[in-house]
Chain A
Amino acid sequence: AQTVTQSQPEMSVQEAETVTLSCTYDTSENNYYLFWYKQPPSRQMILVIRQEAYKQQNATENRFSVNFQKAAKSFSLKISDSQLGDTAMYFCAFMKHGAQKLVFGQGTRLTINP
């Protein structure tokens, strides 16, 4: 079975700073996908960024980028030039290729301070 671990329950940074959220996972699969989801205080979960395991190039979406280290089974999220609207719970998630099921980490509560 796959497991996803987020070791930082809470983080807090100042606006405009860069912050990195950690995620590690355990799997014996070779073909899979990784995701970061954001859940703002209004509670609707939205997809931030996704990565295919067979792609070596790290995914980027505007201010959001990932550092995917397949051998180390690590998938961290970097938020550059952080904004107040980035305040949210962030969840790392794993999905095996061909599967429907997402396996989520415990979440990291990120607060951006003015």
Chain B
Amino acid sequence: DVKVTQSSRYLVKRTGEKVFLECVQDMDHENMFWYRQDPGLGLRLIYFSYDVKMKEKGDIPEGYSVSREKKERFSLILESASTNQTSMYLCASRLGQGYNQPQHFGDGTRLSIL
């Protein structure tokens, strides 16, 4: 089974801090994604990566950056955390393209910015 592991389940940070959320997958998937989940808004794509050092902006990239130095690891970075970035963050990975390759999700990180 695919395992997508997010480094923290809960995280509390202060406004202005630089925050790193880490995600690791163990199935050699090319594609990795970062979403944020907010009540009433569903999941919104922040960034995704289709290969090492490659990235594309999603729907809400402002205030975030990403890093993918190794195939198995995809990091989300909040450059200067703000209270409106308090949310649940979900990482996902996917093998290749095509209908039959679903996204596999991690457990999520609930991030609070004080």
Give the interface centre of B44, B48, B99, B108 by most chain A CB atoms within 10 Å: B99
Interface size class of B (residues with CB under 8 A): 20 to 34
Q: Shortest beta-carbon distance, A67 to chain B, in Å?
A: 19
Complex Cα distance, B102 from A47, in Å, reads 7
Contact A104 B42 (CB under 8 A): yes
Give the interface centre of A43, A46, A101, A104 by most chain B CB atoms within 10 Å: A43
- Residue A35 interfacial (CB < 8 Å): yes
Complex Cα distance, B90 from A111, in Å, reads 23
Given contacts A45-B90, A100-B48, contact A52 B43 (CB under 8 A): no
Contact A52 B99 (CB under 8 A): yes
Q: Shortest beta-carbon distance, B111 to chain A, in Å?
A: 14
| CB<8 Å pairs between A and B, sample of 23 | A6-B42, A9-B40, A33-B99, A35-B102, A43-B108, A44-B105, A44-B106, A44-B107, A45-B105, A50-B99, A50-B102, A91-B42, A98-B97, A100-B31, A100-B33, A100-B50, A100-B97, A101-B58, A102-B43, A102-B103, A105-B42, A106-B40, A106-B41
B interface residues with partner A (beta carbon < 8 Å): 31, 33, 35, 40-45, 48, 50, 58, 88, 90, 92, 94, 97, 99, 102-103, 105-108
A interface residues with partner B (beta carbon < 8 Å): 4, 6, 9, 33, 35, 42-47, 50, 52, 91, 98, 100-102, 104-107
